């Protein structure tokens, strides 16, 4: 919609941000489900050897690709959301809600770096970027908290999603 009226641009950007947010949520859940932390949680819930099933092996095998889709969608969602809200101003009646959504979104975005840098995908990428330099003991110490980083991320995303849903509902109206 290249020649869209200015008053409709905001609602269009908001709708695109919502669609990208839902896609980001789905790809984030795919990343979580394919994570070793999820395998441990499933084991604790009584499912012995989840990796023994073919369908879960198929999900688990593509963990790296889920990270790529999650990263691309997350950056796209952030760009569209910021283009919709900008930096909320005091005259905007939704400024406080937009600040809360942005704060939780930025905190969620920042927590992704803790998750990714403690993920089993990270050493492979690091080895590709710096050949011959193995990952040291610092990574092993950091990795043992990987599940806790997911918990922090999920709490932040739940807050971001809840406030966003309260603000826009299922679909932003015009």
What's the mean pLDDT in 129-154?
Answer: 75
Q: What is the pTM of this model?
A: 0.78
Question: What integer pLDDT is reported at residue 1 of this predicted model?
Answer: 43
**How far apart are alpha carbons 97 and 7 in whole angstroms?**
20
What are the structural domain ranges in the chain? 6-168
Give start and end residues of each alpha helix (H) in the chain: 6-33, 36-44, 54-61, 63-85, 95-117, 121-129, 137-143, 146-168
37 alpha carbon, distance to own chain's centre = 16
Question: What integer pLDDT is reported at residue 4 of this predicted model?
Answer: 43
Question: What integer pLDDT is reported at residue 50 of this predicted model?
Answer: 82
More confident residue, 90 or 62: 62
**How far apart are alpha carbons 115 and 118 in whole angstroms?**
5
């Amino acid at each position: 919609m290249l020649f869209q009226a200015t008053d409709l641009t905001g609602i269009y950007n908001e709708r695109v941000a919502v669609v990208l947010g839902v896609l980001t949520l789905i790809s984030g859940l795919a990343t979580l489900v394919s994570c070793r932390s999820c395998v441990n949680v499933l084991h604790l819930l009584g499912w012995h050897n989840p990796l023994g099933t073919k369908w879960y092996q198929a999900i688990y095998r593509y963990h790296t690709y889920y990270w790529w889709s999650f990263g691309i969608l997350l950056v796209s969602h952030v760009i569209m959301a910021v283009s919709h809200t900008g930096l909320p101003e005091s005259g905007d009646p939704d400024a406080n809600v937009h600040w809360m959504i942005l704060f939780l979104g930025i905190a969620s975005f920042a927590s992704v770096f803790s998750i990714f840098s403690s993920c089993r995908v990270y050493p492979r990428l690091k080895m590709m970027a710096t050949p011959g330099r193995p990952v040291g003991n610092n990574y092993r110490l950091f990795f043992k908290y990987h599940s806790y980083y997911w918990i922090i991320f999920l709490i932040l995303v739940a807050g971001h999603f809840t406030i966003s849903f309260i603000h826009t509902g299922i679909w932003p109206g015009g």
